Structure 1
């Protein structure tokens, strides 16, 4: 392993090599310590946000019946697993929460005929919308946010280590230039 070798005493090891090794070790330990805290804080905040969003959506959307105004497209492979999941856009007529009859485009199952009844979600403004977030969707979005937070902590630590290494490398190159400026005249003397 490279890290322990760099931390041992060595006559060829410069002080900047030790600084670089200890910086890397410190950032690794800091990232490992900060990851759980970041995941809990971000995951909890995201869960509260998406739970509030789900409650708002449930309060402002309602499920209603709509009538198809045209035949829905047929799936190329009727009866397949893909056909059961696929939805096609079709014109529908429905009544919104205020009692107004509206027409819109909704995603429906394939091969439904004109006049068929389908269930749609309608928003407070009378437009067809997605259903409210389910508890599983809230949970998966919160988990996704927590994972992104963990990746962010590690990316920040990696960026900090790269920046520190760059600064140390520039310092080493400047020291080598200074040392070479003192040594070069002894090596390049003309006869």
Structure 2
């Protein structure tokens, strides 16, 4: 609203300079671009991210399987530093040597993380694997994918707004620099006669 009222104020003001009106128009164009491009950019990026992430969700849920593993030996407590947003990583505190059967029927044996506070030989725990029985992470779920897509769209909209505002500021800065340069030229022309009686008459 301030931009529109500024344009109206400068419309027939005798003190209006060309640059004043140009700055007001630049601000109005930037405001319109922010109102249009930011939501459109956010929606397009969010929709693309949602499509891609939901495809990943379907693929992961199709190829990752929850199997039951049996503890062979406790290998000790390990700090969890990878993928803190997955419940598997949050809950897994012990490294164990375990046996499990892969979805393809093959027998697997190896070290893995177990969601057990004090594992003993023969304890059972659940484990995510790929079709060949290799240990993998929990599959991405649909609500989490949607949340990531919304965040991507919001970030894209904010970035578009920031780029438009940066372009507006750069344009206004160049216009002000040009105005100051013209003022300097005018002062240079008036400078030799400044303060002398009778000049300009």
TM-score range, shorter chain: 0.7 to 0.9
Residues 1:38 and 1:2: Cα distance change in structure 2 (over 3 Å): closer
* Cα deviation code 1:163-189 (max 9, x no counterpart): 111211221121112111112112277
Structure 2, unaligned runs of 5 or more: 78-89, 197-201
Secondary structure of the residue aligned to 1:70 is strand
> Which stretch of structure 1 is more off in the superposition, 132-141 or 31-40?
31-40
Q: Distance in 1 between matches of 2:187 and 2:5?
A: 28
Q: Distance in 2 between matches of 1:169 and 1:48?
A: 45
Deviation at 1:18, TM superposition (A): 1.6
**Cross-structure match for 1:90:** 95
Q: Distance in 2 between matches of 1:104 and 1:156?
A: 49
Structure 1, unaligned runs of 5 or more: 74-84
Q: Distance in 2 between matches of 1:165 and 1:113?
A: 71
**Cross-structure match for 2:194:** 187
Deviation at 1:97, TM superposition (A): 3.7
- Tell whether the 8 Å contact from 1:104 to 1:127 is kept in structure 2 after alignment: no
Residues 1:144 and 1:28: Cα distance change in structure 2 (over 3 Å): same
TM-score, normalised by the number of residues in structure 2? 0.76
Deviation at 1:127, TM superposition (A): 3.2
Deviation at 1:115, TM superposition (A): 2.8
**Cross-structure match for 2:139:** 132
* Residue 48 (str. 1) matches residue 55 (str. 2): no
Show the 5 A alignment for 1:164-175: 164-175=171-182
Residues 1:111 and 1:89: Cα distance change in structure 2 (over 3 Å): closer
> Of the candidates 29, 47, 70, which is equivalent to residue 74 of structure 2?
70
Q: Distance in 1 between matches of 2:4 and 2:43?
A: 32
Aligned length: 179
Q: Distance in 2 between matches of 1:121 and 1:102?
A: 14
Q: Distance in 1 between matches of 2:144 and 2:174?
A: 45
* Cα deviation code 1:93-119 (max 9, x no counterpart): 233344142212225143344432111
Deviation at 1:71, TM superposition (A): 7.2
CA RMSD of aligned residues (A): 2.6
Show the 5 A alignment for 1:1-191: 3=3, 6-7=6-7, 8-9=9-10, 10-68=13-71, 69-70=73-74, 73=77, 86-93=91-98, 94-98=100-104, 99-124=106-131, 126-187=133-194
